[in-house]
Amino acid sequence: MQSYTEENYLKIIYHLSVISNPVQTNAIAEKIQTKAASVTDMLKKLSDKELVDYVKYQGVTLTEKGKLAAINIVRKHRLWEVFLVEKLNFKWDEVHDVAEELEHIKSTLLIERLDEFLEFPKVDPHGDPIPDQHGNFAAISFVKLNRLKVNDKGTITGVSEHSSPFLKHLEKLGLTLGKKIEVSEIIDFDGSVELSIDGNKINISREVAKHILISK
Amino acid sequence: MQSYTEENYLKIIYHLSVISNPVQTNAIAEKIQTKAASVTDMLKKLSDKELVDYVKYQGVTLTEKGKLAAINIVRKHRLWEVFLVEKLNFKWDEVHDVAEELEHIKSTLLIERLDEFLEFPKVDPHGDPIPDQHGNFAAISFVKLNRLKVNDKGTITGVSEHSSPFLKHLEKLGLTLGKKIEVSEIIDFDGSVELSIDGNKINISREVAKHILISK
DNA sequence: AAAAATTTTTAGATTTGTCTAAACTTATAA
DNA sequence: TTATAAGTTTAGACAAATCTAAAAATTTTT
């Protein structure tokens, strides 16, 4: 069994390893809001427990065991987010911190019953896929909104940025999951994108477009 | 704000202080599964934070601030228990350990929304009252089943023992919350009680009867 | 390929909560 | 009222997770 802190490290390493593998000490330190020296200490510990493969100065990779543990935490986090939004009327920008705590509750029965109660959701309120008990994800295909061409259509199915200000901004613009959009113009000057949504036209910056995931 | 451990101490002191006040070091040590020396250390810390009044060798009492903190944890514990039983189909003997973890999740919004979602329950699955946001309990009156006389009638409204074996035993006998019972005989020899319940007659030991709470 | 910059690790200290063993208080009994 | 027992506290140590400062390794630049 892992401690609360160990679980957080595993989860962060998991998320970072999607971007680049092996994961660097400093990258972990930044995400976990701690110092590189503390990360080194923890990596040794996780390595002793065979949750990560760690080579001094070279970074870490999750072992199969570590990866399973990490995915399990991600599963719990995302199920709790669904619960908060669907059952307790939280907004999608309010769920992260609470789910961050709830994800560490240790009870297999609890999480399986919660999954059932929520009717086995496949994605969380940000469109991220929820792995099943065995750690398998349903394949979800999407493109970033900034990659679309003029006249391309699609549905908003996710976001790649989870900060509250960003999510509130999208909410205000009506850019929520499930909404259908069409690209009406791409402004050369700044790369910003003009969209049709709900019959209106709105302009969003390239920076915002980058973090909106679209499926056909 | 209190740590996870501090919260546990406050909760235990609260429960013990109902039985005898001030609360003794050893009583806490036993409940919290630790050594008296560790308790002494923690009492000093809680005293520094003005959560308890602590006099060396004399025991502790919760301050108003400590009592509010403790009741808030009890509130969260009991609301989560209701959630587990009502929404996730946990049995009443399965909820304690999970609620023990859930009670430490820090989010006022979460707990107020949960309360609303559960439609403001007044009691938990064991019949214990759930304090409101301000720490007020609804008055619940009851007598212990072993105090009833022959022909006395009443409804099971609570239990004063929360162990899984005890609760499973009651469940097997059909002695669950809300059930109406009538005392048909009290056996002098061992103090055991014969009850009518659902048209059947059953015999329960005095020890079991002591922990069943009855209201008229 | 040596110098400079960046990244990472080590060494030693700190905090929280725990422990054992010994010392001290209070309560009980002879 | 002294002796004994029970309960509590102190002193000193330890494990987990963190930190700072300095040393070491790696990468980048010149």
Tens digit of pLDDT for each residue in B69-88?
Answer: 999 999 999 999 999 999 99
Q: Which residue has the tokens 């969003």?
A: A204
Question: What residue type is assigned to position A142 of the chain?
Answer: F
Where helices occur in chain B by DSSP H, the ranges are 4-19, 25-32, 36-48, 64-86, 96-102, 108-117, 164-173, 206-210
Residues of B with CB under 8 A from a CB of A: 84, 87-90, 94, 97-98, 101-102, 105-107, 109-110, 113-114, 116-117
A84 and B110 within 8 Å at the Cβ level: the answer is yes
Q: What are chain A's domains?
A: 4-62 (1.10.10.10), 143-215 (2.30.30.90)
Per-residue pLDDT at A136 exceeds 90: yes
Partners of B89 on chain A (C-beta within 8 Å) are 113
- Contact yes or no for A38/A27 (Cβ under 8 A): no
Beta carbons within 10 angstroms of residue B10's beta carbon? 26
Per-residue pLDDT at A1 exceeds 90: no
Q: Give B183's strand partners.
A: B195
- Rounded CA–C1' distance between B204 and C27, in angstroms: 39
| Of the listed ranges A77-81, B17-21, B163-167, the one predicted with least confidence | B17-21
A110 and B89 within 8 Å at the Cβ level: the answer is no
Rounded Cα distance between A185 and A151, Å, is 8
A110 and B94 within 8 Å at the Cβ level: the answer is no
Per-residue pLDDT at B216 exceeds 90: no
Average pLDDT value for residue range A194-211: 96
Rounded Cα distance between A166 and A189, Å, is 23
Q: What is the DSSP string of A56-86?
A: TTTEEEE-HHHHHHHHHHHHHHHHHHHHHHH
The ipTM of this complex is 0.93
Closest CA to A76 of A7, A29, A139, A142: A7
Beta carbons within 10 angstroms of residue B98's beta carbon? 20
Per-residue pLDDT at B99 exceeds 90: yes
Rounded Cα distance between A189 and B23, Å, is 73
Q: Give the burial class of A42: count Cβ atoms within 10 A of its Cβ; 0-12 exposed, 13-18 middle, 19 or more buried.
A: buried
Rounded Cα distance between B23 and B41, Å, is 15
DSSP A105: -
Rounded Cα distance between B83 and A107, Å, is 15
Q: What's the pLDDT at B123?
A: 97
DSSP B147: G
Rounded Cα distance between A18 and B168, Å, is 47
Q: What is the DSSP string of B107-126?
A: -HHHHHHHHHHTT--SB-TT
Using one digit for the tens of pLDDT, what is the confidence trace for A91-103? 999 999 999 999 9
A26 CA to centre of own chain = 20
Residues belonging to chain A: 216
Q: Which of A87, A98, A117 sits opposite B107 (nearest CB)?
A: A98
